[in-house]
Amino acid sequence: MIAMFPAGSAPDIIARLAGQWLSERLGQQFVIENRPGFGGNIATEFVVRAPADGYTLLMPVSTNAVNAALYPNLNFNFIRDIAPVAGIANAPFVMAVPLSLPAKTVPEFIAYANANPGKINMASGGNGSSPHIFGELFKTMSGVDLVHVPYRGAYISDLLAGQVQVAFNPIPQSLELIRTGKLRALAVTPAKRLKALPDVPTLGEFLPGYEAIGWYGVGAPKNTPIEIIDKLSKAMTAALADPKSKARLVDLGVEPTPLTSAEFGKFIGAETEKWGKVVRFAGLKVE
């Protein structure tokens, strides 16, 4: 199973859980391989070119839906070339800042950014990654000037040190840092507050209409035999029905969202259309 981002990232964490659960149910070892870079497109193309035999899988995430519009000259078409296997979970993101930043609320952050134009760095896992696009949506709706700093690898250490001043982080890789007081959460990205962070407001409370959420699933190369897709899909659905699996995901701050192959395909199509509109509206281009 190919993860598009580095070890320790949210997609990597979910991929390792999914691999463990599938291994338990199918009696075969699942190895997670990280292939970060190019906004997840390196990993995706690797799976697109892999044999369609069920032995090379992708952990597709919301970034894939964004990339379809952000990168017009890719050597593959995500919708056409990756067969949906199963949906796993939806994941909220959190707008997080280092403790050294004086802003303690979203309005304070906006005021601080406006007073320091071009000096506030926004970290992400790369051009087109969900942290990038969710941050761009914030920039568009708030009117602030943030400097995007794309990382090929992990950026959390630089965020903690204050070398970058804000990031829109997936909850799984942020929750413990927030709970232990190492990062400050200003807001979460879904429409509703999170049970895991009940005192943290939503961005929509300050920017009406703001809503963004990540997701994780399993995909395979196109032309993978339907019986293999079905076998993997049923195993993933069974894993997500297990109370222990559900509890593990909830503990990470994500919402278990089991989807069949057909359901996941429809969901991906809708997400690709939604974020394509955001990319075009914001005039985003790959640097």
Q: Per residue in 71-127, pLDDT tens?
A: 888 999 999 999 999 999 998 999 999 999 999 999 999 999 999 999 999 999 887
96-205: same fold as 2-91+213-282? yes
What is the pTM for the complete model shown? 0.82
pLDDT in tens, 216-257: 999 999 999 999 999 999 999 999 999 999 999 988 888 999
2-91+213-282 — its CATH code?
3.40.190.150
Contact 234, 262 (CB under 8 A): no
Quick one: average pLDDT of 22-34? 96
Annotated domain spans of the chain: 2-91+213-282, 96-205
3-state secondary structure the chain: CEECCCCCCHHHHHHHHHHHHHHHHHCCCCCCEECCCHHHHHHHHHHHCCCCCCCCCECCEHHHHHHHHHCCCCCCCHHHHEEEEEEEEEECEEEEEECCCCCCCHHHHHHHHHHCCCCCEEEECCCCCHHHHHHHHHHHHHCCCCEEEECCCCCHHHHHHCCCCEEEEEHHHCHHHHHCCCEEEEEECCCCCCCCCCCCCEHHHCCCCCCCCEEEEEEEECCCCHHHHHHHHHHHHHHHHCHHHHHHHHHCCCEEEEECHHHHHHHHHHHHHHHHHHHHHHCCCCC
Q: Judge contact between 245 and 231, C-beta under 8 A.
A: no
CATH topology of domain 96-205: D-Maltodextrin-Binding Protein; domain 2 (3.40.190)
Pair 35, 110: CB distance under 8 Å? no
pLDDT for position 9: 86
Mean of the per-residue pLDDT values of the chain? 93
Q: What is the pLDDT of residue 128?
A: 78
- Give the separation between CA 148 and CA 48, rounded to whole angstroms: 29
CA distance 68 to 60: 13
Task: Compute CA 41 distance to the chain's CA centroid, rounded to the nearest angstrom.
Answer: 14
